[in-house]
Amino acid sequence: MTAHLPPDEGRPANASWRRCVRTPQNLSIAAVCLVAVAGIWLVTLQRIAFEREQAVAAAMKSNAHLAIAFEQQVSRTLKAAEQVAAFVREQYLRQGPGIDLRRWVEQRVIREAMFTIVSVVDETGEIVGSSEATGRVNYADREFFRAQRDGAGDELFVSRPVLGRVSGRWQIPMSLRILRADGSFGGVVVMSVDPADFTDFSRQADLGARGLLELTGLDGVVRGRKIGDRNSFGLAAQELSWFQRRAAVPEEDFMDDGGAVDGVARIVSYRSMADYPLMVTVGTAYADELATVLQRRSSYLTMAAGATAALLVFAGLLMLALARQRAAADALQASEALFRATFHQAAMGIAHIAPDGRILGANEKFCRMLGYGSDELRARTVFDLSDADSREAARLFLAHRLSASSPGFSPEIEKPYRRKDGSILWVCEALGVVNDPHGRPDFLVAVAQDITARKDLEARLSHDALHDALTGLPNRVMFEDRLARVLESARRHGQPAAVLYIDLDGFKAVNDSRGHAAGDALLQQAARRLEDCVRAEDTVSRFGGDEFGIVLATLTRAQDCEVVAGKIVRALAMPFAVDGAPVCVSASVGAALFPGHGDDIDALVAHADSAMYAAKHSGKNRFCWEPLSDGQAG
């Protein structure tokens, strides 16, 4: 054959190569090689894009959870401010300018420490009572005073940050209007909060060194912003992308280029608050969130480049092998070695599965993910690796893939496997069908990526958003959800339900004398005792500090609530063992009965809270509620 003539026979040295390349077989090899290279880079780029989208989606979901938690903290702060302001207003209307706010703070009647100054201002703007010595100060020109004087509603007004005339520090005033009995304007109750207190939530959430936490008023002024360790406030918000978006979409997750803040691109989640003209924003640096993905991107590109180079070299060797028989055998061996190396050294688990579910083989990554040896896996089916309640779904999915008209890889699904040690392995998996020469399914290829850590993080974030971190009890969000369900059932069946509000007497003394660690231990023991005092269908919740709430479902009569409350008072009066020493506290318990004391969540909680304060003022260590008529007690 002329293709084998040596170059010194009168042809150029590369003529044989050009003739070899032009043969139909070698042209086919070149075409397949190009398709394979395109496939390698397509899969690599899709994998990079997929991981980036997954990382961004996970960050958005995490930030959305944090935004909800941040909103709840701000809402609790403002609700507490409303309660304090309403209480002070009520006392002022009863007692007049002689109200002694300093004594109330010292005696812990007003216990919220974050409200640095609480004052009563009359209709002319003059301070007539304050928790601190003020001298003569007039607030008639302040935004919070004008808003309450000129407004018509009975709502808490959260002002822009101002330089305090009493404290000399930057503060955010919050005010509530005072109306006299004849309906005329009688002044305001005002309290001040350090702007940094609103963004103190960053201590509970790790947003990174460039993470952003912000509380903004719908009037276009930032109440508080924290980036890393830097606090700021009083900034204009009109140029902020999330402030502009909020006008059309009340809550959203999106990518922000950071141009209006500090030039740092962030993944941002924002929410408009339901009860106040405010919005909360949480952001994490895009580069920080995608650091791991970018590292893997470099690895994927290196692997793709290496695979491309190997494939091109293999194609060249194969084309030469068609001209030389010996080279063909060598090329075949190299192809098999490349397959084994790719199969066993892949970064993801790969398994070959028979149509009946038997595992024909698996790479080392798949074996390590499940904790089995390769021989142990070959003695099992994929159904043996699934829990009993998910095996039927696995059979149906396998049958669907085998009967699908397209033999390519399926869309990726998330599914659980049971490891050898009994633990759960969550994977993102795709199944591809390999047909025999007659077009019948020969076996399936499963490609699985371990996503257990992400699933655990999602579950933990979901739990933390609804539970108190110290005691493990439901937090106020879950408490209100459970109460809403109980009230719905009570209305449907015409049965009573009740809310208990519990405050520990003497807890501050324990905290001050024994330290916060001892106080935390006492709160945890108190939580367990409260759970022991109620039924499984009731809900015990921690509102914060030393305050707890309980939802009592399906009561037979109103007196059942008193029985449970008495049980709680006795249980919490028993000594607690803290650091090996007995510690004694007591409890003041207030209650509200549905429907006698109210028909909605806010009314019942407010009545129970008021009753708890009555119990505390009556000597503590007791239960109290506003009496019901015979018709209400039912």
436 and 480 both lie in a single domain: no
Of 270, 289, 308, the domain-final residue: 289
Are residues 465 and 68 in contact, defined by beta-carbon separation less than 8 angstroms?
A: yes
Alpha-carbon torsion, ordered 363, 368, 374, 375, to 10 deg: -170
Torsion sign, CA atoms 492, 493, 494, 497: negative
Does some domain include residue 316?
no
531 and 624 both lie in a single domain: yes
pLDDT at 328: 55
The enclosing domain of 576 has a CATH number of: 3.30.70.270
pLDDT at 7: 42
pLDDT at 288: 87
355 and 496 both lie in a single domain: no
End-to-end CA distance of the chain: 109
32 and 151 both lie in a single domain: yes
Does some domain include residue 446?
yes
373 and 424 both lie in a single domain: yes
411 and 271 both lie in a single domain: no
pLDDT at 594: 92
pLDDT at 541: 96
282 and 158 both lie in a single domain: yes
Which 8-state DSSP code applies to residue 363?
-
Does some domain include residue 515?
yes
pLDDT at 340: 64
Of 450, 476, 510, the domain-final residue: 450
The enclosing domain of 194 has a CATH number of: 3.30.450.20
Does some domain include residue 331?
no
363 and 276 both lie in a single domain: no
Task: Report the predicted TM-score, pTM, of the whole model to 2 decimal places.
Answer: 0.45
Please tell me the distance from the alpha carbon of residue 342 to that of residue 331, in angstroms, as a whole number: 16
Tokens of 567: 């049980």
Number of neighbours of residue 55 by Cβ within 10 angstroms: 20
pLDDT at 527: 94
Which of 630, 561, 619 lies closest to 591, judged by CA? 561
pLDDT at 420: 86
Of 289, 315, 333, the domain-final residue: 289
407 and 497 both lie in a single domain: no
Domain that holds residue 601: 466-633
Does some domain include residue 302?
no
478 and 428 both lie in a single domain: no
The number of CA neighbours under 13 Å toward the Cβ of 491 is 8
CA 461-467-470 angle, 5° bins: 105
Please tell me the distance from the alpha carbon of residue 354 to that of residue 349, in angstroms, as a whole number: 17
pLDDT at 4: 42
pLDDT at 109: 65
Question: How many domains does the chain fold into?
Answer: 3
444 and 523 both lie in a single domain: no
Contacts of 357 (CB under 8 A, 6+ apart): 381, 382, 383, 394, 395, 398
Which of 258, 255, 200, 256 lies closest to 229, judged by CA? 200
pLDDT at 14: 53
Tokens of 322: 């068609």
Residues in the chain: 634
Does some domain include residue 75?
yes
424 and 571 both lie in a single domain: no
Mapped onto helix, strand or coil, the DSSP state of residue 273 is: coil
pLDDT at 177: 94
Residue stretches of the chain with pLDDT short of 50: 1-13, 15-17, 630-634
Q: Omega before 496 cis (within 30°)?
A: no
Which of 482, 505, 522, 475 lies closest to 569, judged by CA? 505
Does some domain include residue 257?
yes
Does some domain include residue 1?
no
